Structure 1
């Protein structure tokens, strides 16, 4: 089959590619020059601020305003805060405060920091309405379980990010909050009728569209209530009839990672990519480890599908045009925005406002801090969490009730503080905490996930997230080695 440079360049325009290094490989720079729309960076690409800035500058020189993206939600899902945790509270904390101005200012500050590092597309915010307590993939990434609350914060987050010249990307359309499975591993199914989905899942996306969001990211979930089978990413009636025609979205449709089993597990990434673009996806986020050889296969699959009539050529042209418009918006917005230093204190201020205490929290003397470990989700990755930075000698333990006697003995004569993360999802963690509380009913429990399981204890502290600033805000209350709280902290 002869090489068609025009078709190949159009196929390139649908690609958002990853790579495995702190420096841009030659194939990436050449690909950007040959029409690849942009890159998606992960923690393996990010080291020091100086390294990230230099990397993004090199990428920017390879083409005219390539998309330089990442998943930076603040809170638990952070790339620039991977080493110690984010300086910004996550959506659950912002939703608990329920001050849209704070949400806007937090995302403006985060956007300013991203822009200073050279990023121009943030695959955030998550605007899913989290109504499934056991949701393994959303949780604290959501502003909450009330659709109207999520909608007003979705709009505020979009406005804040885009005021910094960074394009926002509302996700995961049409809503991943009612799932009990992780689309990284399977195809979750949402059992809700069309009326409920319109009133609940779609409301925040309407708000994001009305706020001028530049891109929307699809979900690899199945919603029979909207008709049809298979993942929303591959469903033309969801991406065109619903998102384009009904919601009036005119920007770029971005896929969730195409290496996830929820979309490509059965058919492979190249075929899933063809079906996604045919369905209405403009920009294929390929995932974490889809590198040069696989990208060539994806490009070839798109070109072949056009030649065989399975993918209309005008669909590739339409996608390329939308992605070019996104790059133009970034270029023009960045040119006229006033540079502003990242307002880092806004993150800690928001985390402090989010903390809730149930029960009486007495002054703690020489506390024995036990952190009950919890697995990191695929979207979160290995990011530090807990109270250990402020309580030297804290002990991180596996969720095993057999350890209770040893820990109780270790806490003798000291105040006991037990730190958990989404304990409602892990019966082993609950069993261990219950054993500890049987012996020490006055202990303090700190929940750094969603505060759904609330045991009887002396005091229950909810941080609504496990970011660095969430931990610091709890440590301040508990008397950790953090210095004096800022004036005005309640």
Structure 2
């Protein structure tokens, strides 16, 4: 029996029985849906939660924690006005800390909610955590993230990623994975689940292991297509399922489905729509009894083949309890409403059996109890957050210092021909070159770390042409050392030809050249320059923590990371010591 089952009050009770009996089909349907209010007007937000009774909202992080707290308070007010009056589970995708999601607009919230400017704490990516070799770092990052999320009114995090990244060309997992070895991934997943649990209902965030039964062996992004995994059942059992089994043993609150066809389990339907995967494997074979939540139903992996409404009903029938029914664009409200109504119609007609819907609702209500939104009598409790308290908690200096320490422990020197460290005290000119915004951030970090001038060069695109590369080479010939920032990552698992030409040209300059692999460490598979440092960052502003740590390594700090994946000739566990 899992920790979740033994430590929580999971009995349904009279209150749950009453709610199951009293809710209308549309109210039942609403409780099984997650809405994305960012793409709705304020009046549409009010309707989706008050009129349609949607039971959860997914939010994106603003730069202002006070705003987020006020925003979630407002959503809770809308939910309280519904006929059932049930509080919202507020969710989000905050795998790399409370700063790791896209910003919201402040809108017309009270001025007190618009004061201040600091954002949340950005923690290293899962692969960077894996590179530290210490699962305690994942536990710490999760615990701090949970504290910050709860301060802003968020109860449920769609993390950790339990996928084993066995395919370097994977376009969607990459640094979101703890590594390529199932035992390492499982240990870090377990630690993260424990960290999100916090010290009790007031600072607990529901954890989500994703993407079941594994998205690490794919070369298609399920946001844009339907991936197929052709691994046999033995490989699934030995490589891709163990981290999920570890998560279940640790009492994970929810498991997210993958919009992936895993042929050894069901060669016709993606896991999200497959009774064989969700009920047969996850529920019956692995014994999981927590929440099953789908990945976004707006993704091509299910939407293109089955349509939103049919896919929603099929997912619940297959065993999912909650649907992320987000929609974007000018028809977002209508599309989210149609999803609720399709589920309600299936409940009313009996296409969705009553026992299936009731089981899903009980798990949703149980989750709300575990984070203090419902008391043991099923009455709403603990909806509101204090915006000023959120400001004091979120992005606190101690939290950011912890994130920086962990980033330094993860950065890995993959190779060094004796040029590192660059002398920070020398009156030397450093060229920082690359194809992303990271050039500016790395240059700032170099200025903070070293004396001498800093020159920057950034390509006009991610695939610089020959004339651009020549210009960069001319700059390199006139400086004392070069830091070139390469990028491959989510959506771009390989460097462009222009990036390859850029690195090749800089490498033949007569000065020391160090490569910083901004995101995927596979950029360092070929020894192209004098030194290579893996940052395991991301192509977002939250990647700054990784880049600063990488620059520190280039200029003298001793990094602690070892490769959590195989990179060319360099095996898992490799690093170059000074």
TM-score by length of 2: 0.75
Provide, for residues 75-120 of structure 1, a one-character-per-residue CA deviation record: whole Å limited to 9, x for no partner: 7991178999962101000101110111101111111111111111
Q: What SS does the aligned partner of 1:435 have?
A: helix
Q: How many residues align?
A: 467
2:156, 2:207 within 8 Å by CA — same for their partners in 1?
Answer: yes
Provide, for residues 35-61 of structure 1, a one-character-per-residue CA deviation record: whole Å limited to 9, x for no partner: 321101135xx3411111111122234
Q: 1:160 to 1:130 in 2, by over 3 A?
A: same
RMSD of aligned alpha carbons: 3.0
Quote the Cα distance in structure 2 between the aligned partners of 1:321 and 1:173: 22
Q: Which residues of 2 match residues 295-334 of structure 1 at below 5 A?
A: 295-331=336-372
- Greater Rg, structure 1 or structure 2? 2
Provide, for residues 336-391 of structure 1, a one-character-per-residue CA deviation record: whole Å limited to 9, x for no partner: xxx995633221111001112221314252211002239xxxxxxxx998514424
| 2:19 match | none
| 1:367 match | 430
Quote the Cα distance in structure 1 between the aligned partners of 2:339 and 2:554: 53
| 2:246 match | 207
| 2:536 match | 464
Provide, for residues 248-289 of structure 1, a one-character-per-residue CA deviation record: whole Å limited to 9, x for no partner: 211111100001000111321111111111111111112352
| 2:166 match | 131
| 1:474 match | 550
Q: What SS does the aligned partner of 2:351 have?
A: coil
| 1:105 match | 140
| 2:66 match | 50
**1:72 maps to which of 94, 99, 116:** 94
Quote the Cα distance in structure 2 between the aligned partners of 1:227 and 1:30: 38
| 1:270 match | 309
**2:278 maps to which of 235, 239, 248:** 239
2:167, 2:219 within 8 Å by CA — same for their partners in 1?
Answer: yes
| 1:400 match | 464
Q: Which residues of 2 match residues 136-155 of structure 1 at below 5 A?
A: 136-155=171-190
Q: 1:75 to 1:132 in 2, by over 3 A?
A: farther
Q: What SS does the aligned partner of 1:73 have?
A: coil
Q: What SS does the aligned partner of 2:521 have?
A: coil
Q: Which residues of 2 match residues 252-263 of structure 1 at below 5 A?
A: 252-263=291-302
Quote the Cα distance in structure 2 between the aligned partners of 1:353 and 1:81: 28
2:500 is the alignment partner of 1:430: yes
| 1:347 match | 403
Gaps of 5+ in 1: 375-382
2:131 is the alignment partner of 1:96: yes
Question: Which stretch shows the higher mean deviation, 32-41 or 94-103?
Answer: 32-41
Give the Å deviation of 1:179. 0.4
Quote the Cα distance in structure 1 between the aligned partners of 2:98 and 2:28: 36
Give the Å deviation of 1:225. 1.1
Quote the Cα distance in structure 2 between the aligned partners of 1:89 and 1:41: 21
| 2:49 match | 32
Q: 1:80 to 1:108 in 2, by over 3 A?
A: farther
Quote the Cα distance in structure 2 between the aligned partners of 1:367 and 1:427: 24
2:233 is the alignment partner of 1:179: no
Q: 1:312 to 1:29 in 2, by over 3 A?
A: same
2:503, 2:528 within 8 Å by CA — same for their partners in 1?
Answer: no
| 2:485 match | 419
Quote the Cα distance in structure 2 between the aligned partners of 1:53 and 1:370: 39
Quote the Cα distance in structure 2 between the aligned partners of 1:410 and 1:384: 15
Give the Å deviation of 1:441. 7.2
Provide, for residues 193-219 of structure 1, a one-character-per-residue CA deviation record: whole Å limited to 9, x for no partner: 011101111111111111111111100
Give the Å deviation of 1:308. 4.1
TM-score by length of 1: 0.88
Gaps of 5+ in 2: 1-21, 81-85, 105-117, 375-380, 383-389, 447-453, 560-577
2:163, 2:177 within 8 Å by CA — same for their partners in 1?
Answer: yes
| 2:573 match | none
Q: What SS does the aligned partner of 1:425 have?
A: coil
Quote the Cα distance in structure 1 between the aligned partners of 2:135 and 2:240: 19
Provide, for residues 123-151 of structure 1, a one-character-per-residue CA deviation record: whole Å limited to 9, x for no partner: 11111000000000000000000000000
**1:446 maps to which of 486, 491, 516:** 516
| 2:442 match | 387
